[in-house]
């Protein structure tokens, strides 16, 4: 059962996604949560405290998603199945429900000036990178936390572009095929075999996305 504190944090994340950083106020969270005015301020007296709590909550949600991913990763998972995970994550983050992605972008901007938010996002980035490296290792790929962290950073930038740019711009820069781009992210960052498991991975990708791979795994590092 979700606690009152977690409910307020979840609503703060939703407000961030819908209204942006400037729209995140105690009253806005009270309204979103359907609680009496002043409730959020009682839990989080300042805006800094509210932002830090939202970042901590998102970190905790991502950590739970990482745990579920590791617990459900089948023995003998293939590089192709891992590669297929990234197009699925892009679709979920951009097309299915962009709330987490939008809130993440707002928190990244806030983190530039707020040490508490920066620390929470740092913990999330490290946790996601280690989990990603573990998943890749389960598929026999020599991936490190650095490789997985780079893949996460690539993923965030591409996901924001897919969400923010008009269709004609995405076509012009080769980002209009989200499936191919997801596989291309994997090829660009992860050493060893390519998405189809037959070729060496390309250091920077020879195509805008690079197709390949079989049918695949579901879920995803960090719950993005």
Q: Residue with structure tokens 């989990």?
A: 131
Give pLDDT tens digits along the chain (224 positions): 779 999 999 999 999 999 999 999 999 999 999 999 999 999 999 999 999 999 999 988 888 887 787 788 888 889 999 999 899 999 999 999 999 999 999 999 999 999 989 998 998 899 889 888 988 998 999 999 999 999 999 999 999 999 999 999 999 999 999 999 999 999 999 986 544 444 433 333 333 333 333 333 333 444 44
Largest CA distance in the chain: 59
64's tokens: 């739970």
- pTM equals 0.79
Class of residue 199 by CB neighbours under 10 A (exposed 0-12, middle 13-18, buried 19+): exposed
- Among 141, 147, 159, smallest CA distance to 89 is for 159
Q: Residue with structure tokens 């990244």?
A: 108
| The pLDDT of residue 177 | 94
Query: Using an 8 Å Cβ cutoff, are 178 and 92 in contact?
Result: no
- Among 52, 47, 18, smallest CA distance to 32 is for 18
| The pLDDT of residue 69 | 77
């Amino acid at each position: 059962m979700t606690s009152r504190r977690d409910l307020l944090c979840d609503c703060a994340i939703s407000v961030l996604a819908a209204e942006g950083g400037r729209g995140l106020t105690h009253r806005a969270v009270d309204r979103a949560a359907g609680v009496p005015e002043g409730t959020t301020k009682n839990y989080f007296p300042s805006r800094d405290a509210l932002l830090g709590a939202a970042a901590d909550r998102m970190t905790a949600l991502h950590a739970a998603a990482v745990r579920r991913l590791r617990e459900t990763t089948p023995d003998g998972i293939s590089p192709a199945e891992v590669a297929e995970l990234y197009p699925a994550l892009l679709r979920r983050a951009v097309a299915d429900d962009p709330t987490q992605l939008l809130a993440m972008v707002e928190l990244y901007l806030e983190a530039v000036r707020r040490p508490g938010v920066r620390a929470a996002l740092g913990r999330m980035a490290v946790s996601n990178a280690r989990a990603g490296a573990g998943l890749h290792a389960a598929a026999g790929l020599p991936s490190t936390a650095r490789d997985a962290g780079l893949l996460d950073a690539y993923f965030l930038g591409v996901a924001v572009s897919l969400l923010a740019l008009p269709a004609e711009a995405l076509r012009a820069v080769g980002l209009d095929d989200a499936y191919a781009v997801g596989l291309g992210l994997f090829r660009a960052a992860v050493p060893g075999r390519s998405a189809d498991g037959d070729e060496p991975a390309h250091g920077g990708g020879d195509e805008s996305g690079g197709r390949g791979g079989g049918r695949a795994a579901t879920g995803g590092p960090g719950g993005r």
